[in-house]
Amino acid sequence: MAIDFTLTQAQRRLQHIAREFANDILAPLVRAADEIPDTQKAFTMMKGAYVEAYKLGFAIGFLPKAYGGAGVSNVDLQVIVEEITAVDPGFATILLVNGLALMPLVWFGSEAQKRKWLVPATSDPRGEYLAAWTVSEAPGSPGGTANFDHPAPAPVGIGLIATHDRANGEYVLNGRKKWPCNSAGWDLKGANVNVCVVRTAPQEGGVRGLSCAIVPRETKGVTYDSPIDKFGHRTCQNNTITFTDCRISEENIFALGHGDLAINKAFTWSGPVAAIASVGVARSAYEYVLAWAKTYTAGGDKPIIHHQAVGYALADVAMKIEACRAFAWKAAHYHDLHDANGHAVGAMAKVFCSETLFNAVFQAMKVMGINSLDRAHPMERFLREAAVFPIYDAGNMGMQMRKLWGVMADPAFDPRAIMASKLTPFAKTWPPAIDENGSDQHQ
């Protein structure tokens, strides 16, 4: 029988190390960082914990061993992420955006590009290395990022234009990005690398004209605004970035004409990660309220856990957590079998778990009643953090459900493939309801 949910000895050790790090090093920083008004300061307050996480391999361990990473499997990553997100999902996002940025290089970069950019990422002696996945753009007219794959030419879709200056062997970048994490770095001078999705062929649509561009730290022509003031995930940094005649070597371009595939695969890789992150937050909310219910009497003669309504409510939350953990592990296992090509199951896990567990946190709050509003308790923060999951990481409505819909609409889709852990095809032609005239635009 191949199905076994028992952690191996190595995985239990990973879990122990991650839990010890989260409780002993990360937890003492979180409340003060979450409450501080200055979002950049909140981010930099996490730097010491980040360095320790880097030393433990949590920041870059998912990169292949050939380039200095640990080659951590997607299932092993689940074990680590749940423990860290149970304490602070914002900090976990700092770590995991390194993967969103650098895994596309693993999949689409040349060998020379991998050696040049991945080896420094895994060998920083100071442990401060940051990478940013710089895709998202501000809403506007038309603006936004959900329509990155729209077949119409610019200005529809991605608006960061990369013009090829063949005479000088360079690309010139002009445009803006909004929401990328880590992009401004610890000092607002830039992450070590920003991996940007750009329009290398503005006259072409998003499935033909997109590419990825590597923009190193302190490249001229890039400016960063103060980080966005968010109500959740406050310990990670999200920025607005302006590119003005920013010049990079043409050797820094990869996935030329296939930036759409890089976007889709990156957010497929992160799907199970976001799913298990939702589990981490819901687990903390559930455990806190369960302990509360076993001591709080609400003025009665016994703790409220002895009331059937409370017991049923918490049992419902517990069931949802277990179901979503199993779903996240299933999606991660599928990724390990198919080189992170689980475009359907990754989206399924991310959407289902993030939506389910936001409601689970609120259900736990109802057990506490009015006391859950008291900031002496962590429930308000759990709810704020849980609210982020359905709307970030290729938001459920923005990209993930649409990607799942596209896979299912493919004539070759086998509805039993995921059950059997068989590969589900994915191609550049997947948006089924978009024509060259731009009908049925995405949300």
What would the pLDDT profile of 1-36 be if each residue is shown by its tens digit?
578 899 999 999 999 999 999 999 999 999 999 999
Does residue 435 carry a pLDDT above 70? no
**pLDDT, position 119:** 98
Q: State how far the Cα of 39 lies from the Cα of 239, in Å rounded to an integer.
A: 11
- Let me know if residue 264 belongs to a domain: no
Task: Verify that 235 and 300 share a domain, yes or no.
Answer: no
Q: State how far the Cα of 106 lies from the Cα of 89, in Å rounded to an integer.
A: 25
**pLDDT, position 144:** 65
Residue type, 171: Y
Does residue 114 carry a pLDDT above 60? yes
State the total domains in the chain. Answer: 3
Q: State how far the Cα of 310 lies from the Cα of 366, in Å rounded to an integer.
A: 9
Please, which residues bridge with residue 238 across strands?
181
Q: What average pLDDT does this structure show over 73-100? A: 98
- The enclosing domain of 218 has a CATH number of 2.40.110.10
Does residue 335 carry a pLDDT above 90? yes
Residue type, 286: Y
Task: Verify that 284 and 358 share a domain, yes or no.
Answer: yes
Task: Verify that 290 and 402 share a domain, yes or no.
Answer: yes
Put residue 207 in one of left, alpha, beta given phi > 0 → left and psi -120 to 50 → alpha. alpha
Q: State how far the Cα of 392 lies from the Cα of 389, in Å rounded to an integer.
A: 6
- Let me know if residue 4 belongs to a domain: no
**pLDDT, position 440:** 43
- Let me know if residue 422 belongs to a domain: no
Task: Verify that 324 and 403 share a domain, yes or no.
Answer: yes
Rg (CA), the chain: 22
Binning pLDDT at 50, 70 and 90, where does residue 140 land?
Answer: confident
Please, which residues bridge with residue 430 across strands?
none
> By C-alpha distance, which of 34, 32, 102, 101 is closest to 63?
102
- Let me know if residue 340 belongs to a domain: yes
Q: What average pLDDT does this structure show over 107-125? A: 98
- Let me know if residue 89 belongs to a domain: yes
Print the domain residue range for 13.
Answer: 9-122
Q: What average pLDDT does this structure show over 420-437? A: 69
**pLDDT, position 427:** 80
**pLDDT, position 1:** 56
Q: 122, 157, 177 — which closes off a domain?
A: 122
Q: State how far the Cα of 387 lies from the Cα of 317, in Å rounded to an integer.
A: 16
- The enclosing domain of 74 has a CATH number of 1.10.540.10
**pLDDT, position 69:** 97
Q: State how far the Cα of 348 lies from the Cα of 107, in Å rounded to an integer.
A: 22
Does residue 142 carry a pLDDT above 70? no
Q: What is the DSSP letter of 252?
A: G
Binning pLDDT at 50, 70 and 90, where does residue 412 land?
Answer: confident
